[in-house]
Every structure is written in C-alpha cells, then in structure tokens.
Structure 1
Amino acid sequence: MTNQQLMHDFNQFLNVERNASSYTIDQYQADLQQFHMFLEHEQIEDFTHVKHSDVRLYLTQLYDQGLSRVSASRKLSSLRTFYTFLEKEGLVGVNPIEYVSTPKKDRKIPQFFYEEELEKLFETEDLSMPLGQRNQAIIELMYATGVRVSELVQITIGDIDFSLNTVLVHGKGMKQRYIPFGAYAENALRQYLRDGRLQLQAKSDHECDDVFLNHRGAPLTDEGVRYILNDVMKRAALTSSIHPHKLRHTFATHLLNQGADMRSVQELLGHESLSSTQIYTHVTKDYLQNIYNNAHPRA
C-alpha cells in the first residue's frame, strides 16, 4: 500500500470515525505531507518502515528550522494519532512514536480582547445588510458562549432555545453541552434569523438547518469564519490580531475576572480537564495585580 493510500485511509478514519472538522483534517494532512517529504529526503521508502530514531531526527530538524515547541508538539501528536491508526489496522508491528517523548510546551498566556477593543468589533457591521447581521451574530455568540469555531458552524436552528436563552453545542468527542447567552447575543441572533439568514437562504436551491450561512446560502465552514473575523478586524482598524480562539480566551478571561468559579468556566468551555482551564488564572492574576497596584495606597 502506497503512502498516498495510507494518508487517504487515515483521512477517511478522521472524517468518519473521529468526526473531525475539515480544519483539523487539513492540519493532519499537512503534518503528514511534511513528514512524508522528510522520509523521501532520508530515502525511507514508506511510513511502515519508520523507526523511532527516524522520528527523533525529524524532530531535531524541526527545531533546527526554528519551529516552536508548541508547533513541534502538535506535529508529533499528528504522527502519534496516525501511527496508532496504522497499528490498529495491523500495518505496523511497532509504533515508532511510542518511545518519543512529547516536547514540553512553552506555556503562553492566552491573548484576549479588552472591552474597548470588543466594542469596536461590535460597532463595525452594517446591520441593514444580511452579511452584516450574520457577522454580528457570529461575534456576539462566540463572545457570549466561548464556543470553538468547529462547534459554531455545527449549530442548527433547533439547537437555539430563545425561551431559556441557551444553545446546544456539539463538542469534541460527540459530547454535548448547553451554554447560556445574554441579551446582546439574543438580539443579534433574532435579527439575523428573521431577516439576514432568510435572504441568504433564498440564494440556495437547498434548504438547511445550519444557523450560519455563507453569501451563497450554503453552510459556513471553519475557514469561512476565520476569513470573516479577519475581515471584521481590518474594518475595525484594530492593530492586534484576531482568531476564533481569541474570542474564546476573552470569554473565559472576562468570566474569571468578574468572579466566576473555575469549575463553571471549565464546564462552559467543554474542557475535560481542569488543568486546561487553569491557564486563564495567569491572566486573572495579572489583572488582580494591576487592580491592587492602582488601588492600594501602599502598593
């Protein structure tokens, strides 16, 4: 079986059995293509002939190219998932990633928006236009709920309950959770659903239940949301960068800054482990330190 066939089968596994998003699948495929090029350079015939020493050499080359530990760790994680798949399929006897330790990540404090920056984002869209209404609903809902972009694009009309102001989110590993949203997100969603979305839906021959549609009336993709957010940022004339996770970071940071407990934020974010949520305590500690320094007479 050729390397290309193995990558194709792995792609099918991610899509069908893992129910991975298109963005996640693309990342896996890019990581495998890069590893494949390394194997060709080292004259290693195919994926099934790889040894753990080859993987260590690959990591060394990544570091030599200036790749960060976070990026190297993600690439190694992709390979680990791939070779676990090959092992289950009986295509390799020994997993070459098994004895390669994951690089320790440089723990970065997550970036977030200050409230003044958010206001500029919220004031950018032309709410008389369907795309403006859609974009406003996206930003308001992402900030109100902290959903991942892969979760956002899966939301259907039936997932939104305006009587309770909650949205049913389909998270990683097919896990579901309900997240409340406030009046601003409610108003933006109601306006979009009764006006902008109907106009966008009319451009397509096929009806769908997805809440967020592109300009042709088809369901919006992960990449589509990223493009929209980058465009909004440019029009808001903000110098900082924007990405979907930055709104998620902002959601968590602002909740903790206002006194929300860690367990509740963990549940809202859909984190399996509390340690994933604890990274936001670094931000809140800095926030509290600034408050103390500015407010205490002897600070």
Structure 2
Amino acid sequence: MGMDFDDLDELLDDFVSDLRQTNKSKGTIDTYRRDIGYFRRFLVQNDLPTTTAALTRQHIGAYIEDTLTRPNQRTGRPITPEFADRQYRSLQQLCKFLVREEILDVDPFLKMNRPTVPEKPIPVPPIDALRKLLAVCEGSGFEARRDSAIIRLFADAGPRIGELAPLDVDAVDFTENTVLVLGKGRRPRTLPFSDKTRTSLRRYLRARASHPFTVHENPALWLGLRGRMTASGIQQMIERRADEAGIEHIHPHQFRHFFAHNWLANGGQEQDLMMLAGWRSRQMIGRYGASVADERARAAHRRARLGDQL
C-alpha cells in the first residue's frame, strides 16, 4: 500500500520529525501530536477530507467552533476556552511548518482570529494549607521523605511540573544549593533553594539509596513503584496528600503561583523573578499571583506609610 503524502497522518510524522530536529521537548511534541489527532478525528466524523484540503480557514474555523460549543464527552461540562485556544495554536504551528515546506501555498491562519480566553486568576494556596500538606508528609519512610522534598522544592523554587518530574539526581548541587532544570524551549536555568529544602532533599536521598530501583543505577531523582515518577504520578501524589491533610486540592502549578506571589510580597525584584521563573514576557508577572495582587498592594501601602509623611 503506497503512502499518501498529502494525508494529515503522513504530514504529522514529518512535522514531528521537524520538531525533534529543532530540539522541542517530548511534552511539546506529544501535545501537538494529540491535538492534531483531535482535528483529524473531527474531519473523519464530519466526512471531511483528511488531506491538506482540510487545512482551510473554513474547516479549521469549524473545528474551533465545534470545540467551543460541544460538551466534554467524559464530564459533560463545556470544553474550556483554554483547550480550544491550544487546538488553535497546535494547528497554527503545523500550518506554519507546511508553508515553510511549500506544501501549503498560503497560511490559513493569516486571516483567522485566535479564541478569546477570559482571564481567570489562579488561587494561590495559603501558607497554612501548605503547612498542613507538609505535616502529613512527616516521617522517616521513603514516600514521606520523597513527598516532602517534592512539595518543598515546588514551593521554594517554583519549577513547572514538566521541569521537576524529569530531574536526575545529578541536577541537584548541594554546594550551591541549586537545582538545574530544563525549561520551555529546552532552555536550562538554575534554581536556588533554601536550607529547609536542602535538608528535606538530603533526607530523601538517604532514603532513596535503599530503594530497589537504585540497584540498577537509575538516574531519576524521583522514584515511584515502577521507576521514575511521571508528572501525572506527582500530581496524583499531591492530590492524595491534600485529601489526607483535609485541604482543597492543589494543582502543581499553584505552587508556582505561591512562589511568585511570595517573591513579590517580600520585595523581590520583578527582573529577578523573570529569570528564576524562566519567563521572557513581563506579562507573566501580572498573571502569576494575580488573585492576591490586591493583598500585595495593601501591604506595600502599609510599608510606605504615605499618609504619615504629611
């Protein structure tokens, strides 16, 4: 059976190959592959072509509209605008690649509008909730020490879960009290951590030394029942610990918001925060910790004591 070089499946393989050549992360590649798969399924379900003929403004627009209006098959709830926006961006990147390869003459996204995503401030976990979370991780067992180290590193250094999960042991430097992570765009950056986090990491590594998977010289920093912990496994651990602590569920990304909010609340410089968080746009500063920005503003006013200077 011959290859149909015009079919989306074949084009997707070429696109993925290009992404690997430009050193895109596995997570990014998996997201593009999954999203373009959703689009192809939509085409099949609606008896539309699954070739480059489908990559028109009309067909892509119909898919985005369908995504914004149909309910989630699993939950029955409306699909979020954030999900529709991700579909838009994934297909946009595919089309840019096809234009570069001269497979498409014109980029269909040139005259399209991106879905509007309403700003929804992400709640910053209160420090009392994090203390309760750490309290249920107390103990000398392997899981207790591992979970405590993960939570402390999340809150103390503010990495993304996609940066924390793949860490190897040699990424941690106890001479400088830093951890080397690989951020978006495969850009490395060094995150400092405090003494309590250092102590927690050292305790975990001592417990890790007797873990069955270390016999095979597994380089993974975070070990679970089957070897390296995945991002999903870490998220499930945090949800389980939140249940044990009797607090609202915490998404791993909320630790990043906690980190950013507390950095700014304690007088940290915005430029330094951008470096530590791996941001290139100052817009991210306003987005992170936005739900408690008024709290920081009131605290800054109290410190300034403007009226007392009159």
Instruction: Give the structure-1-normalised TM-score.
Output: 0.87
Q: 1:221 to 1:88 in 2, by over 3 A?
A: farther
Tell me how far apart the structure 1 counterparts of residues 238 and 137 of structure 2 sit (CA, whole Å): 11
Q: Which residue of 1 aligns with 2:154?
A: 142
Q: 1:7 to 1:226 in 2, by over 3 A?
A: farther
Q: Which residue of 2 aligns with 1:237?
A: 246
- Picking from 231, 242, 262, the partner of 1:222 is 231
Give the secondary-structure state (helix, strand or coil) at the position aligned to 2:145: helix
Q: 1:26 to 1:237 in 2, by over 3 A?
A: farther
Tell me how far apart the structure 2 counterparts of residues 270 and 51 of structure 1 sit (CA, whole Å): 35
Measured against aligned partners, the alpha-carbon deviations of 1:34-89 in whole angstroms (never above 9, x if no partner) come to 21122123322214112112112222222222433322211101111222233334
Q: Which residue of 1 aligns with 2:36?
A: 32
Tell me how far apart the structure 2 counterparts of residues 142 and 190 of structure 1 sit (CA, whole Å): 16
Measured against aligned partners, the alpha-carbon deviations of 1:77-112 in whole angstroms (never above 9, x if no partner) come to 111122223333443333223321212321121221
- Picking from 254, 266, 271, the partner of 2:262 is 254
C-alpha RMSD over aligned residues: 2.6
Q: Which residue of 1 aligns with 2:66?
A: 61
- Judge which range, 55-64 or 275-284, deviates more: 275-284
The one-letter code sitting in structure 2 at the alignment partner of 1:270 is: G
Tell me how far apart the structure 2 counterparts of residues 178 and 143 of structure 1 sit (CA, whole Å): 15
Matched ranges for 1:182-221 at <5 A: 182-195=194-207, 197-200=208-211, 202-203=212-213, 206-216=216-226, 218-221=227-230
- State the aligned residue count: 292
Tell me, yes or no, if the aligned pair for 1:253 and 1:283 is still in contact at 8 Å.
no
- Picking from 175, 179, 195, the partner of 1:163 is 175
Q: 1:112 to 1:21 in 2, by over 3 A?
A: farther
Tell me, yes or no, if the aligned pair for 1:143 and 1:250 is still in contact at 8 Å.
yes
Q: 1:82 to 1:287 in 2, by over 3 A?
A: same
Give the secondary-structure state (helix, strand or coil) at the position aligned to 2:223: coil
Tell me how far apart the structure 2 counterparts of residues 170 and 290 of structure 1 sit (CA, whole Å): 36
TM-fit CA distance, 1:115: 0.6
TM-fit CA distance, 1:146: 0.4
Unaligned 5+ runs, structure 1: none
Q: Which residue of 2 aligns with 1:48?
A: 52
Q: 1:215 to 1:292 in 2, by over 3 A?
A: same
TM-fit CA distance, 1:245: 0.7
Q: Which residue of 1 aligns with 2:75?
A: none
Tell me how far apart the structure 1 counterparts of residues 265 and 85 of structure 2 sit (CA, whole Å): 30
Tell me how far apart the structure 1 counterparts of residues 60 and 8 of structure 2 sit (CA, whole Å): 16
